[in-house]
Amino acid sequence: MSCSCVSRATAGSALAAGNKAEGAKVYKQQCAACHGDTGKGDGPSAKTLKPAPTNLTDAKLMSSRSDADLAKIVKDGGAKHGKSPLMPGLGATWSKQQMDDMVAHMRDLCKCQGKK
């Protein structure tokens, strides 16, 4: 089983440009099965995944990554960035706005900002 919390755009994001509510809608459809409804890495599929999905509410971890870093991981999938190969990427199927929305939602989950 694989999670599909993945990108539809180019990397990079301007947090202010993202709409976290729109990002939350896509997250619920494509990411929550693995990362959980609240982003803690405890979705219904998480029990069977090794390594476990990232806890997106971990402010220390998430603040160590820039918005561009998050966008690249979501866009490309986990394996390309040293993360789980079970997290697929959607490549260029999202618009830049959709990617910005997802990153804004991820920042809302962690209640943190990324490194500059």
Residue range 1-59, pLDDT digits in tens: 455 544 333 333 344 589 999 999 999 999 999 999 999 999 999 999 999 999 999 99
Helix axes 96-110, 20-30, angle to 10 degrees: 90
**pTM to 2 decimal places:** 0.84
Contact 26, 98 (CB under 8 A): yes
**Of the candidates 44, 62, 60, 42, the residue with the CA atom closest to the CA atom of residue 52:** 42
Domains detected in the chain: 15-110 (1.10.760.10)
The pLDDT of residue 7:
37
